[in-house]
């Protein structure tokens, strides 16, 4: 199947219209303030914020990141300032940006997620909520993401608490990702994003102990792209709601692979650490491809991967 060129606005449903199909993945661009000094946020369609919890979290003890072949492991532990600060201080700034800001929310109980959704309310500057049911780096971070029944109950509860577009971020660390996606759709999710990181480890060669204090971390980067594409293809076949693809996207060609799998939009993650302009470059590349007769036409583009 050939990949359709994607450019211009994308309607993801329930009021979430992004100016282009490229977003900055949660956890890789913070709340936009630092990366916004290195690239123009208005060149991308959406910023998916750092995972946000009801109360501030200090995160895991360092080291939190380990480089791997073709990617990286992270065990940040959802360090964040808490939902009150995001709504009260950050959202007014978000409102001045052209890119849509989707607040990623996380928790260890249904009440945590519901609290965040209610606290967001109709705050100006926040376009949608991304439910993080797939974080591998905190206790119980994937409980909802590996059980379709639990995922469904969570989405029902949050759906009742908000009128905003509700996106559910799926974990690949599950026996049947399609079943979880269907459960989210049936419970009222407007879209799903797939996939979050894979669980991995890196050992020190001097003593065989894990580099990361928690033993494992979330593996991301181009090394996971074939695995992510396989999971995304299963999700796209299983649901009717839009799917936002993420996992190892580094350039226009790898972005087009996800559109070929059936995605409506994409998120760029680990590539931002290598080149903060990656997402802007990919958005421009997709726009250029849309002007060509072939989706695989010639476009001068370089990637550091």
Q: How far is residue 52's CA from residue 115's CA, in Å, rounded to a whole number?
A: 11
Is 244:193 a contact under the CB 8 Å cutoff? yes
Which is it for the CA torsion 140, 146, 152, 158, positive or negative?
positive
Single out the catalytic residue among 116, 135, 236, 263. 135
DSSP assigned state of 278: H
Two tokens, residue 8: 């211009």
99 counts as catalytic: no
Q: How far is residue 45's CA from residue 43's CA, in Å, rounded to a whole number?
A: 7
DSSP assigned state of 112: H
Q: 23, 29, 17, 53: which is closest to 190 by C-alpha?
A: 17
Q: 13, 96, 102: which is closest to 51 by C-alpha?
A: 102
Which residues does the annotation mark as catalytic?
135
């Amino acid at each position: 199947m050939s990949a359709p060129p994607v450019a211009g606005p994308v309607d993801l449903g329930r009021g979430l219209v992004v100016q282009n199909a490229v977003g900055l993945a949660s956890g890789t661009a913070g709340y936009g303030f630092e990366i916004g000094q290195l690239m123009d946020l208005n060149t991308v369609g959406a910023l998916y914020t750092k995972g946000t919890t009801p109360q501030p979290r200090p995160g895991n003890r360092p080291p939190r990141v380990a480089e791997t072949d073709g990617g990286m492991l992270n065990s940040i532990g959802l360090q964040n300032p808490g939902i009150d600060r995001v709504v009260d201080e950050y959202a007014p700034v978000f409102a001045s940006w052209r890119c849509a800001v989707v607040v990623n929310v996380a928790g260890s109980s249904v009440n945590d997620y519901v609290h965040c959704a209610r606290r967001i309310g109709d705050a100006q500057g926040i376009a949608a909520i991304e439910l993080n049911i797939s974080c591998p780096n905190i206790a119980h971070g994937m409980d909802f993401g590996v059980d379709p029944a639990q995922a469904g109950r969570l989405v029902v509860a949050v759906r009742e608490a908000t009128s905003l577009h509700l996106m559910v971020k799926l974990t690949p660390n599950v026996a049947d990702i399609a079943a979880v996606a269907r459960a989210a759709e049936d419970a009222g999710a407007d879209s799903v994003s797939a996939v979050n990181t894979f669980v991995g480890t890196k050992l020190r060669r001097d003593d065989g102990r894990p580099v990361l204090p928690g033993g494992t971390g979330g593996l991301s980067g181009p090394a996971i792209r074939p695995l992510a594409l396989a999971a995304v293809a299963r999700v796209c076949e299983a649901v009717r709601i839009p799917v936002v693809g993420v996992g190892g996207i580094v350039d226009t060609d790898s972005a087009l692979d996800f559109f070929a799998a059936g995605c409506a939009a994409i998120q760029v993650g680990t590539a931002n650490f290598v080149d903060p302009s990656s997402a802007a470059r990919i958005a421009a590349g997709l726009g250029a491809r849309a002007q060509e007769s072939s989706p695989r036409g010639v476009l001068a583009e370089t990637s550091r991967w």
